[in-house]
Structure 1
Amino acid sequence: MRIGIYNHQHLRGGCPVCSQTYVKGMIADGMKCMNRAKGIYGEDNEFVNYTDLGDYPSDNLERPGFKRMMTDVVADNLDVIVVITLDKITTDIDLLLETYKTIRQHNIELITANDGKKAMEILDKALIKWGKN
């Protein structure tokens, strides 16, 4: 199974110590995502990291790591995507649902380290409720 881990961390302030803190946080979040995926899908998986570190507004999905991940989604190169929380993708509900719709059209699961597969259940219901399926 090929599992993508997506992580987006803002750099606020730009000071060297702050940047180190954000990078450490990204590493910790990535490990949580990997451990959650291993707990659900087992140990024998290939992991691909997609990372964006920078001041990208939440509604800007033109991030290098995110674009690379979505290219792999469209090319059917992933089976699962793991994020620490859904807001690492975007806080814009319409963008989140459109992104999720694309992911599901390619039969890829989207889970969060905090909620596991429950995130998919919630997003599937939202797609139905708002007629975006």
Structure 2
Amino acid sequence: MSLDDDSFLAALAACEFPASEFGHRQHLRLARLHLQRAPLEVAIERTCADIARFAAHHGAHAKFHRTVTEALLRLMAALGPDDVALLDDARGLLARHYSPTLLATPEARLRFIPPDLLPLPA
């Protein structure tokens, strides 16, 4: 589905974007757009709200992970939205900062938990 940025945001907000087409690239696009349009903290809240609402609408509320989403936004803000590591190895980037044990906790899924390995960039 090819949409301009405003149409993409509108389709997600209305939960009209096909769930089958909302993969990693689309998550990153959403984050990039919010980071371009708002300060970091606002972009984090908007991105998390959009993804959580979209997941719940499609019966996949348990797939939303607050810590992963917020950590990737913080990394994107520090690295730049077009850094290929975000696209090619987001899990590897997260693994530098978070242990699998911490990310597997229910608490990390529900709210942002700071890293237990390496601090996120400021």
Work out whether the TM-score is over 0.5.
no
The structure in which a higher percent of residues are helix is 2
- TM-score, structure 1 length as denominator? 0.29
**RCO higher in structure (CA 8 A, sep ≥6):** 1
